[in-house]
A and B are shown apart, each in its own frame.
Chain A
Amino acid sequence: MAEEDIETKIKNYKTAPFDSRFPNQNQTRNCWQNYLDFHRCQKAMTAKGGNVSVCEWYQRVYQSLCPTSWVTDWDEQRAEGTFPGKI
């Protein structure tokens, strides 16, 4: 699985796979972490002038897991500058 290209991985995306960092019933952190990871990746790639499409994996995962109302709230908070996470 480490040999697989990130582009192929994104293309073959079915749903958020099992993440051994979050093995239990409470998946709140899983959703939160992927949301943070996508926006950090996006910020870093944009700053370096790299290809943002490699960050798409995190976006697909958080879209699969997170309730859309949470995502909307967080997007608004980021726009306002009141987002509690560090991006």
Chain B
Amino acid sequence: MPHPVQLGLQDATSPIMEELIAFHDHAFMIVSLISFLVLYVLSSVLTTKLTNTNITDAQEMETIWTILPAIILILIALPSLRILYLTDEINNPSFTIKSIGHQWYWTYEYTDYGGLIFNSYMLPPLFLNPGDLRLLEVDNRVVLPIEAPVRMMITSQDVLHSWTIPTLGLKTDAIPGRLNQTAFTAMRPGVYYGQCSEICGANHSFMPIVAELIPLKIFEMGPVFTL
């Protein structure tokens, strides 16, 4: 759930996103420590009254400040690669839902059993209800089950778009003529927002994605149409 003056990532709703947040914290800590160290050394070198005009070599220090960064890079790379391979794991999805990008709305197709196809347009500001989020609400949300592996197939009907839901750790480009696959397992119910993430024309900022995650039993009861 995005909130005003948010500084960090949104809370995770899928296990992969939890891993990504942990990795971000780890890498950010390393980067902050290095930056702080460099800033400290720089300021102390610039403000000291000590002068020594006879330093010619410093082999030991040079060795250390070559080996240590290499070790730090390995410490960053290992968790990163672990997450990369986690995202590629083979999971047998329970559902396949298609998301097709258009200028400037999304079409969702549920065709595993029968066919439910609908468009999802942003609600213009005049149509918002009190408490709704401006530029984020849509008329028809994509409804998905929790605690079940879901496979999303993303493509586009015209230009490049990108389908994303940050709290699930998902961002997949919608490319015309290509069918991109992404999968996730959501852990808790709720309404989660994302915005088109590839420039696609005048209303690129006005084609959000809203996923409504509901318990599996209710999802299996089938679609309920409201007018």
Query: Which of A14, A28, A63, A64 lies in contact with B177, CB distance below 8 A?
Result: A28
Q: Which residues on the B side are within 8 Å of A68 (C-beta)?
A: 109, 111, 115, 117
Question: Is A55 positioned at the interface, with any CB of B under 8 Å from its CB?
Answer: no
Q: Which residues on the A side are within 8 Å of B151 (C-beta)?
A: 15-16
Interface contacts (Cβ under 8 Å), in number, total: 58
Query: Which of A27, A63, A69 lies in contact with B180, CB distance below 8 A?
Result: A27
Of listed A17, A26, A28, A67, residue having the most chain B CB within 10 A: A67
Q: What separation, in Å, do the CA atoms of A27 and B178 have in the docked complex?
A: 8
Query: Which of A14, A25, A69 lies in contact with B112, CB distance below 8 A?
Result: A14
Interface residues of B in 151-172 (CB under 8 A from A): 151, 153, 155, 157, 172
Contact with B along A6-41 (1 / 0, CB 8 A): 000000001111100001011110110000000000
Interface size counted on chain A using CB atoms at 8 A: 19
Q: What separation, in Å, do the CA atoms of A69 and B101 have in the docked complex?
A: 12
User: Nearest chain A CB to B142's CB is how many angstroms away?
Assistant: 15
User: Nearest chain B CB to A84's CB is how many angstroms away?
Assistant: 13
Question: Are A26 and B179 also in contact (CB < 8 A) when A14-B94, A16-B96, A64-B96 are?
Answer: yes
Closest residue of chain A to B93 (Cβ to Cβ) is A15
Interface residues of B in 77-113 (CB under 8 A from A): 90-96, 98, 100, 109, 111-112
Q: What separation, in Å, do the CA atoms of A26 and B174 have in the docked complex?
A: 11
The answer to whether A67 touches B100 (Cβ under 8 A) is yes
The answer to whether A31 touches B179 (Cβ under 8 A) is yes
Question: Are A64 and B178 also in contact (CB < 8 A) when A15-B96, A18-B92, A27-B153 are?
Answer: no
Question: Is A45 positioned at the interface, with any CB of B under 8 Å from its CB?
Answer: no
Q: What separation, in Å, do the CA atoms of A16 and B151 have in the docked complex?
A: 10
Q: What separation, in Å, do the CA atoms of A30 and B157 have in the docked complex?
A: 19
A-B contact pairs, 13 of them (CB 8 A): A15-B94, A15-B95, A18-B90, A18-B93, A23-B90, A25-B172, A63-B112, A63-B115, A67-B98, A67-B153, A67-B157, A67-B179, A69-B157
Which residues of A does B touch, CB under 8 Å?
A: 14-18, 23, 25-28, 30-31, 63-69
